[in-house]
Amino acid sequence: MRLRRFDRYVLEEILPYLYSGLAVVILLLLLAALQTVIAPLLAKGAAPLLVLRLVALQVPEAVSRGLPIALLFAAMLGLSRLSADAELKAAQSGGLPGTRLFWPVLMLSLGVALFSFTVAETLVPRAKVQSLTVQRDIVLDNPRVLGLGQSGVVLQDALGRAISVAKVGTGGELEGLRIVTLRSGQSAREVMTARRGTLKGNVLTLYDGQRITYQDARPVTVVRFQSGTLPVQDVQASLNPDDTLLPIYKPLPELLASVRELRAQGISAPREFTALQRKFAEPLAAVTMAFFAVALSVYSFRSGVNIGLVWVLMLTFAYYATWSVFRIMGETGAIAPQLAAWTPTLMYLLAGLGLLWAAARR
């Protein structure tokens, strides 16, 4: 009973920091989105309610990625407070070894890892699909947002047409349009160009253009027009083209099938291979981080060194910095996918083992 009370006491010390740390991580990610996407969207006249929906759909990814980092912050801060207040010393005097901290913290970390993995596999893919739908609605509501720092915007619709836009005017008018209709696995069947146009709902109005039809890659008819309307269906428009390309957002079965197919064909796809490793490495980072936090607490208790808030923040930021660098190196093929995905996770395990070895020598 005494051990259970101690476990609850440790968890009650850590959980408030975990909640607050997760809230801070989500807030920081949303502030980054505010600067890069949200503020420019609102400045270009995007509907505020649609922008709010777009923001809300970023929360699942922020929770999934932020939970391990928040746990590291919470465990280090909570356990350092227990050590600084001599509560660990009192527990040891009562017959509890310092390593008894591992049990409640590691159990919490396993729960965090499982929850993070579940969110990444269920809510995040759905949120990304819905995010693309909301982005399409934002574009259809006000095409002016397509000028969000991009040149040569390309839209697609359900009829297989690629709509290229050279420039978006200040009033949302599209300039330099080129609409290409492709045959399946063949050359273009039809190419339409227009000097300018407007997109309202599912109707694209073209002005001062021409329509060329092809047969066997040869032009058959050329028709010039002053104005015309072109119905479009389910226009796909993303404010961030990478959203539709990142394999990390695919559910695990779909990503695994894609990786197997690529390997069977002998195709090198470092982004897909790294994403598959990240699916497991990033949630499990919560476990290695918790192990490191407990090892740091044991070392701090036995050496008499107090870990302050500044060190906690620096050690927390170290994971994000390492994760960012190794992720980019893995996706570009500079290093092996396994090394790129697992290095940020395993470095805390190795550091924790080193701290326990140093603590045992004291």
Q: Note the pLDDT of residue 89.
A: 59
Strand partners, 181: 161, 190
Q: Note the pLDDT of residue 185.
A: 53
Give 342-361 pLDDT, tens digit per residue: 999 999 999 999 988 988 87
Please name the amino acid found at residue 279.
Answer: K
More confident residue, 271 or 149: 271
Q: Note the pLDDT of residue 92.
A: 59
> Which range has highest mean pLDDT (10-19, 141-150, 272-281, 292-301)?
272-281
Contact 116, 56 (CB under 8 A): no
Give 27-56 pLDDT, tens digit per residue: 887 787 777 777 777 777 778 888 888 888
Q: Please report the sign of the dihedral spanned by the C-alpha atoms of residue 81, residue 83, residue 89, residue 92.
A: positive
C-alpha to C-alpha distance for 244 and 41, rounded to whole angstroms: 19
C-alpha to C-alpha distance for 193 and 243, rounded to whole angstroms: 28
> In the chain, what is the straight-line distance between the N-terminal and C-terminal CA atoms, in Å?
31
Give 67-109 pLDDT, tens digit per residue: 999 999 898 888 877 766 556 656 655 556 656 677 888 999 9
pLDDT band at 341 (very low <50, low <70, confident <90, very high): very high
Strand partners, 194: 177, 209
Residues in the chain: 362
The residue among 127, 148, 141 whose CA lies nearest residue 49 is: 141
Please name the amino acid found at residue 45.
Answer: G
Contact 255, 275 (CB under 8 A): yes
More confident residue, 227 or 166: 227
C-alpha to C-alpha distance for 339 and 326, rounded to whole angstroms: 8
Strand-by-strand arrangement of the 218-231 sheet: 153-156, 161-168, 174-182, 188-200, 203-215, 218-231
Lowest mean pLDDT among 9-23, 156-170, 192-206: 156-170
Backbone angles phi and psi of 240, in degrees to 5 = -130, 100
Q: Where do the H-state alpha helices sit in the chain?
A: 2-33, 39-43, 48-56, 59-84, 87-93, 102-141, 252-264, 270-303, 309-331, 337-360
C-alpha to C-alpha distance for 341 and 164, rounded to whole angstroms: 37
What residue ranges do the domains of the chain occupy?
Answer: 2-141+246-360, 149-231
Q: Note the pLDDT of residue 31.
A: 80
Helix axis angle, 309-331 to 270-303, nearest 10°:
160
Q: How far is C-alpha 350 from the geometric centre of its chain's CA atoms?
A: 26
Helix (H) or strand (E) holding 188: strand 188-200
